[in-house]
A and B are shown apart, each in its own frame.
Chain A
Amino acid sequence: MAQEPMIDIRDLSVGFSGSDGRARAVLRNIDLQIQAGQTVGLVGESGSGKSTLALAAMGYLKTGLRVFGGSAHFCGTDMFSLARTQLQSLRGGKIALIPQNSGQSLTPTMRIGAQMAEALALHSALPAAAHGPRSLKLLKRVRLPDPQAILARYPHELSGGQQQRVAIAMALAGEPAALLLDEPTTGLDVTTQAHILELLREINAQTGTAMVYVSHDLGAIARVCDRVVVLYAGEVVADGSVRSVLRAPAHPYAHGLLASIARLSDARMPAALDGRPPAPGEAGPACAFAPRCALAQERCRSERPALRQLETGEQVRCHFAEQTPTIARAQSRLARTAQQSEVQALHLEQLGVSYARPNWWEQLLGRAPSASLTVQDVNLQLGPGETLALVGESGSGKSTILKALAGLLAPAQGRIAFSHEAPLGAAVEQRSPAQLRKIQLIFQNPDDSLNPRHTVAQILAQPLELYFNLGRDETVQRSIALLERVRLGAHYMDRLPNQMSGGEKQRVAIARAFAAKPDVVLCDEVTSALDVSVQAAVLDLLDELRAQRGTAYLFVSHDLAVVRALAHRVAVLYQGRLCEIGPAAPVYAQPLHPYTRVLLGAVLEPDPDHVPQLLADDVLESAPPTQGCPFQRRCPVHQGARCDGETPPWQDAGQGHQVRCHIPLAQLSQALALSTEARHVG
C-alpha cells in the first residue's frame, strides 16, 4: 500500500498545564496512520487518551488541552492549522463523529426530519427540495423501521438504539470518508448493541468508509474492526490486526486486559489486572506499564521501550514482548462453593411493583391503580451463600426488584420475608433496625454512592454506629479490619472519594455494605461503571467475601459474561416478569426460553471469529402487554393467539431449571433452531 494514509498522525503530543503550572501530557508521541476504508479500534482504560486521540484526528481538542508537538493530517490537510470555518466544513462532512450518547447530541426541540435536513444543507450539495427524500433514504440505510414516521418524531420519542441510528444516518449525510465512533454502543442493551454493530459492518463493507472505533469493549472492537491500537497512559503500546492482538496479544498490558474480561464461553472468574494506570504527567521516562507488569525487569524501569515490529506484523512497545505468552493466568483464590452458616434465606413471593399512582377516581374508591404492574408475579428464593443473578435488558425490572427488597419502593403486592420470620415491612420506615441490617445495597457507580465530602472513616462509621452502637475506638478498629478485608489498608481511612480510583471507591462501598454484617447483599450493576481491568478484581473480592461469610447476593447485571463468572443461579426477566430461572450451568449451556436465547445470542466476545446471533428485532417496548406472555411482541417463535391471551405456564426441565413458555420443552429447541435458520436465509 503505497497510497497516502487518510488519517496521518505523526509524533503527536497533547496535554494541559496542571494547577502547579507543569505540563501534563495526555497523549505522548502518537504515530498513527489509517488508510482509506480501514476500521481501526482504539482501546484502553479510562484516561488512556483514546477519546482524545480520536478527536485530535478531526482537529478537535477539549477545552484546556493544547498541542505540545507533532501534527495530525486528514486527507493531506493539517487539521491543527486550519481556520475555524475550514474545519467546520470538513467536520461532519468528510469526517464525522458519532458520540456515545446520541440522545444528547440531537436537538430535543427539533423533529428528526428538520435535523436531517440541516445536516444535509451543511454537508451536501443537494438542493433543499431533495433533502426530504434523501433523509428518508438515509434512515432506511440505517435500517430504521418506518422511516417516514421517524422523520416527524422528536428525539425523546425514540429509543436509545433508534437515536444512535439517527445519529449514524446524520453522520452519513455528508458521505464521509471517515467516521469517528466514540463508544457508540456503550449504555445500550446487548441486543441493540449487536444490531448497531452489524449496521456499522455493513456500512463499511458497502461504502468503504474508514472507521475509528473508540471503545473499552473488546467484544465490540472484535466485531467491527480489522485493526486494533492499544493505548496505555497516552502511548500506543500495541498496534496490529484484530486477530493477532486479541488472539495472541504481544504486549503484557493487552494480555492482562484480555484475561480480565469475563467471557460467556468460560465460567471461570476472570483474572484481575492489579494496579492502576499513571495519571497524566505521572508517567516517567521508563515503560509506563512496568509497575503493573509481570515481565518487568530492571531495563523496563529505566528505559522507555520503542515501538517495534514483531514477526507477526504487530507493532508493540515492549522490551520483552516475546515472553508475553508465558505469563501465567492468575487464578482466583477460592473455590466457588457456598458455605453453610447461620445466615437465613430470603423469600420473595408473588412480588408485584407498580410505579403508577392511583388517579383521583381510584383514590376516591380506594382502589389500586389500573395500569399494569411494572414487576409482576416474581417468586424467588435466595439461599445462604448463594449468588442469584437477575438479568435482562434495561426496563426489565431488575433494579425495581432490588429497590422493593431494600424498602425504597413499596411493592403493590406480594411479600418479602426471611425464612421463619414475619414478612418485612414494605418501606424502610416499617422495618426494624435488625431487619434493615440484614439487607444491604451496593450501587452501580461509587462516585454517586459515596458522599464526596466524607472520608473513608466517616463512610464506614455510619453503618457501624447505626447498627452496632460501637464506641469510637471500636468503630475505628472495625473500619480498619473492613478495609483490610476489601484489600485496602488503614492508610485509606483519611481519604476522600476523589482521592481514590474507581476500583478503590467501589471497594469502600463494598466494605460499607459488609460493615452491617448483612445476610443478603443487593448488587446493582456493581461492575458496569468500572474499567474492565478493575471489574475482575471487584468480582473476585465479592466472591471471596461471600464464601467467607456465607452472605447471599442478588446480583443485577446486564453483562451476561460477568454473571456467568459469578452466579450460581440465574433468573431472566423480561418486562418485569420472570421468563426462565435455573442453575447457571444449564441456563447458559442450554437456554430454553426464546428471550434467553435472544439475549445470549447477542452477547459479544473479544474474539474476531465470534458471530453473534440476532434472533429478534430490537424494538422499544414501553409497557408490558396486559395479558399473555410478556415476550409476545418480539418472540421469534410466536405461536399465535395462545401466546397473546394466556399467561404461559412454568415448565420444569429438572435441577430447578424452569421456564415459562407455551411451547413444550421437547419442541422448544427445535422451534428456535428452525426460526434461526429462517432468519438467516431471509
Chain B
Amino acid sequence: MRGLFQILKEVAARPSGAIGLALVLLHLTIALGSPWLVPYDFKAISAIDILTPPDAKHWFGTDQMGRDVLTRTLLGGREAILVTAIATPLAVFWGGLLGIYLGLAGGRRDDIIMRVVDAFLSLPWILKMLLLIVTFGNGIHVLIPTLAFFYGIPVIRIARAAAHTVVARDYVLAARARGEKRITIIRRELLPNVLDALMVEGAMRWSWMLLAFSSLSFLGFGVSPPTPDWGLMVADSRTFLPLAPWAGLFPIVFLSSLIIGINMLADALAKTLGVDRAQKAPI
C-alpha cells in the first residue's frame, strides 16, 4: 500500500492538488503562527480609528470598535480550524467504523440503524445542532463532540456503501469460509479497501464542518466575543457592510479560500486514489 507521503506527492502533482495543498498549508501556518505575526492586540479598542478604510497603519482597515481587522482575521481561523481538525477525524472514525460494520453484518441491525440514520438526515442540521448547544452550552468541549457526532452520521452511509461493494467480493467470502473472525475481516479485508473512500470523505467533511462552525459563530452559538472568529466577524460587521465592506470582506475571503483549498485537495485526493471512477486510465 502507498504511504501517506507517496499519496501527498501524487496529489501535489495535479494542478488542483497543488493549489489546494498550498492553500491549506498556508492557512495552517497562519493559524499556528498568527499569535507571533499579528501587528496589534486583537482586543485593543480605539475610539479614533473606528471603521477606517485600509491604509498603511491598518492594512485591512479597522472594525466598528476600532480593532485592527488584519489582526483579527489572521487570528480568526484558529478556533475554527482547531475544532474541526479534531472533530473531523472523530466523525470519520466512528461513522466509518459503524458503517463498515453494518455493511458487513447486514440483516435487521443494519435495517434499523439505517432507518434511524435516514430519519436523522431528513431533519435540518442547524436545528439539531442548536438544540444540543442550547442544552449543553457552547464551549469547545461541547462543539467538538457535537460536530463529530452530526458529521459522522453521513459518513455511516458512505462507509456502508463502500463496504457493501467490498463485501460482495470473493476475497471476503474466502475469508468467511476460512472461518476468520469478523473483526479480522473488517481489519484485513474491508478497511484497506474502504480507507480511500473514507479519506476523501474526511476531506469533504472537513470543509463542510468549517462552514457549519462558522455558521454557528455567525448565529452567536460558536465562539464567544471578544475572541476573534471569521463567522463572528462577519456577523458583527454585517450592519456596516455598505459603509465599511473591509470589516466583513477579509474574513469571508479567508474562510472561502480555506474551504476552496480543502475542496480542491479532496478532489485531487479522490482522483489520485481512484475513488473517482471517471478518472480511470484507458484500457
A408 in contact with B283 (CB, 8 Å)? no
Q: Quick check: B174 and A449 within 8 Å, CB to CB? A: yes
Tell me which of A60-68, A206-214, A245-253, A662-670 binds B.
Answer: A60-68
Asked if B1 CB lies within 8 Å of chain A CBs, one says: yes
Q: Which residue in A63, A451, A516 is a CB contact (below 8 Å) of B192?
A: A451
Interface check A154, CB cutoff 8 A: no
A280 to B283, CA, bound (A): 10
Q: A451-B171, A453-B193, A462-B188 are in contact. Are A64 and B177 (CB under 8 A)?
A: no
Place the interface of chain B in its size category.
10 to 19
Q: Are B177 and A406 in contact (CB under 8 A)?
A: yes
Find out whether the CB atom of B282 lies under 8 angstroms from the CB atom of A453.
no
Contact B176–A428 (Cβ < 8 Å): yes
Q: Which chain A residues (16-41) contact chain B, with CB distance < 8 Å?
A: 16, 19, 26
- Interface residue? A436 (CB, 8 A): yes
A620 is an interface residue with CB less than 8 A from chain B: no
Bound CA–CA A408/B173 (angstroms): 8
Mask: chain A, 437-449; 1 = CB below 8 Å from B; 0 = not: 0011101110011
Residues of B near A352 (CB, < 8 A) are none
Q: Collect the chain B residues with CB atoms within 8 Å of residue A408's CB.
A: 173, 176-177
Counting CB contacts under 8 A, is B55 at the interface?
A: no
What separation, in Å, do the CA atoms of A425 and B1 have in the docked complex?
37
Q: Which residues of A contact B282 (CB under 8 A)?
A: 16, 62-65
Contacts A62-B282, A448-B170, A448-B171 given; indicate if A466 touches B178 (C-beta within 8 A): yes
Instruction: Please indicate the chain B residues that have their CB under 8 angstroms from the CB of A26 in the complex.
Output: 283
**Contact B179–A466 (Cβ < 8 Å):** yes
* Residue among B171, B179, B189, B193 having the largest count of chain A Cβ atoms under 10 Å: B171
A16 contacts which chain B residues (CB < 8 A)? Answer: 282-283
Cβ–Cβ < 8 Å partners of B108 in chain A: none
Q: Tell me the residues in window 230-283 of chain B with beta carbons closer than 8 Å to chain A beta carbons.
A: 281-283
Q: B residues within 8 A CB of A462? A: 175, 178, 180, 188
Residues of A within 8 A of B1 (CB): 453
The answer to whether the Cβ of B169 comes within 8 Å of any Cβ in the partner chain is yes
Q: How far is the CB of B11 from chain A (nearest CB, A)?
A: 16
Residue A503 interfacial (CB < 8 Å): no
Question: Hey, which chain A residues are within 8 Å of B178, CB to CB?
Answer: 436, 440, 462-463, 466, 516
What CA separation (Å) do A428 and B185 show in the bound complex?
14
Partner of A448, one of B169, B176, B188, B281: B169
Residue of B nearest to A402 (CB): B177
> Does A313 sit at the interface, judged by CB under 8 A?
no
Q: Is A64 within 8 A of B281, CB to CB?
A: yes
Complex Cα gap A113–B134 (Å)? 62
Tell me, rounded to whole Å, the shortest Cβ–Cβ distance linking A358 to chain B.
Answer: 15
CB pair B179 A449 closer than 8 Å: no
A63 to B180, CA, bound (A): 41
Which has the most chain B C-beta neighbours within 10 Å: A16, A441, A462? A462
Q: Contacts A63-B282, A462-B175; is A443 near B170 (CB within 8 Å)?
A: yes
Q: Which chain B residues lie closer than 8 Å to A448 at the CB level?
A: 169-171
Task: Tell me the complex Cα distance, A433–B179, Å.
Answer: 7
Min CB–CB distance B18 → chain A (angstroms): 18
Q: How far is the CA of A358 from the CA of B169 in the complex (A)?
A: 27
Report Cα–Cα, A406/B177, bound state, in Å: 6
Could you tell me the distance in whole angstroms from the C-beta of A72 to the nearest C-beta in chain B? 19
Within the complex, the shortest CB–CB distance from A62 to chain B, in Å, comes to 7
Asked if A452 is at the interface of the complex by the 8 Å CB criterion, the answer is yes
Contact with A along B154-195 (1 / 0, CB 8 A): 000000000000000111011111111000000011001100
Interface centre among B1, B180, B282 (most CB of A within 10 A): B282
**A445 surroundings in chain B (CB, below 8 A):** 170
Once bound together, how far apart are the Cα atoms of A462 and B188, in whole Å? 9
In angstroms, Cα B167 to Cα A448, docked, is 11
If A443-B170, A449-B171, A451-B171 touch, whether A431 touches B179 (CB-CB below 8 Å) is yes
Residues of chain A in range 458-494 having any CB-CB distance to chain B below 8 Å: 462-463, 466
Asked whether A64 and B283 contact (CB < 8 A) given A428-B179, A436-B179, A463-B178, the answer is yes
Q: Is A450 an interface residue (CB 8 A)?
A: yes
Contact between chains at B189 and A451 (CB < 8 Å): yes
Measured between beta carbons, the chain B residues less than 8 angstroms from A174 are none
Q: 29 A-B contacts, Cβ less than 8 Å apart?
A: A16-B282, A62-B283, A63-B282, A64-B282, A65-B282, A65-B283, A280-B283, A406-B177, A407-B177, A408-B173, A436-B178, A440-B177, A440-B178, A441-B177, A443-B170, A443-B174, A448-B171, A449-B171, A449-B173, A451-B169, A451-B171, A451-B188, A454-B192, A462-B175, A462-B180, A463-B178, A466-B178, A466-B180, A516-B178
Q: Which residues of B contact A (CB under 8 A)?
A: 1, 169-171, 173-180, 188-189, 192-193, 281-283
Q: A428-B179, A436-B178 are in contact. List 4 more A-B contacts (CB 8 A).
A: A62-B282, A64-B283, A431-B179, A454-B188
Closest 4 interchain pairs by CB?
A: A64-B282, A453-B192, A449-B170, A436-B179
